[in-house]
Amino acid sequence: MKYVSYELQIIKEYLGKESIASIARRINRSPVGLEMKINRLGLSNTKSFTGMMTAGELAKVLKVERNTVIGWINRHGLQAKQKITRHKRKFTFIDIETFWVWANLHREKIDFSKLVQNSLPPEPSWVNDERNVNRTMKVYKNWTTNEVKILIELAEKKTFKEIANLLDRTPYSVEKKYSRIKADIK
């Protein structure tokens, strides 16, 4: 049975927002048949259809771990959207222009020297200057027994920020470690 124009509009409107099964129910079609139609229409790649990149794709371009990008989203305000592709699988999508606005405010988090020129177009003019900045990125370091001891002693007396400065760690890292210690005690 041939797809009619209103069905095609529904497919394009909901692709990436709902699962294939949900869209199929909307237009009274089978999920398998709908998936075949999406492939024939050239809409099978939801990433190119939405004009956004997944967190994994962005991580690959920036040469960082995917979890680093997810951390930027969860803890540092990088805007992202969850979209459903295929059946029920969710992906985290980031608009490139939104990323550049965020990156401008959080330059210290990105090693621009690893970024290939124009790999995330449209690339702002300030990025080229940042490629030449020699920046040492903070790398995770394991907690020593002595640091844990200091954290436990100071947690009731000082703020996480003060303890972080003392231990040369981030306030987030100190807070997270302290919450883990408290959870282990219970």
Pick the residue with more confidence: 186 or 171? 171
Average pLDDT over residues 10-16: 80
- Within this chain, do residues 113 and 61 fall inside the same structural domain, yes or no? yes
Please report, for the domain that includes residue 125, its CATH number.
1.10.1660
Assess whether 28 and 93 both reside in one domain. Answer: no
Average pLDDT of every residue of the chain = 85
Say yes or no: 55 and 92 in one domain.
yes
Question: What six digits make up the tokens of 93?
Answer: 């999508």
**Domain presence at residue 138:** no
Residues 31 and 66 in one domain: no
Asked if the structure places residue 139 within a domain, the reply is: no
Q: What is the DSSP letter of 82?
A: E
Mention every residue, 6+ apart, whose C-beta is less than 8 A from residue 12.
43
pLDDT: which is higher, 159 or 120: 159
pLDDT in tens, 164-184: 999 988 888 899 899 999 888
Q: How many domains are there within the chain?
A: 3
pLDDT at 137 over 70: no
Containing structural domain, residue 35: 5-44
pLDDT in tens, 61-79: 999 999 999 999 999 999 9
- What is the share, in percent, of the chain residues with pLDDT greater than 70? 87
Rounded mean pLDDT, 32-61: 76
* 178 inside domain: yes
Convert 139-157 to b/e letters by CB count within 10 Å (16 or more is b). eeeeeeeebeeebeebbee
| 53 and 77 fall within a common domain | yes
Same domain, 114 and 79: yes
Q: Which of 40, 154, 121 is nearest to 174 (CA)?
A: 154
Residue-wise pLDDT tens digits, 76-135: 999 998 877 655 677 888 988 999 999 999 998 898 988 998 888 889 999 988 888 766
Identify each DSSP E strand in 11-99 by its residue range: 53-54, 81-85, 89-94
In a domain, 72, yes or no: yes
Q: What is d(CA 50, CA 60) in angstroms, rounded to the nearest whole number? A: 19
pLDDT, residue 50, reads 59
Q: Is residue 140 part of a domain?
A: no
What pTM, to 2 d.p., does this model score? 0.57
Order of strands across the sheet that contains 53-54: 53-54, 89-94, 81-85
- Do 121 and 64 share a structural domain? yes
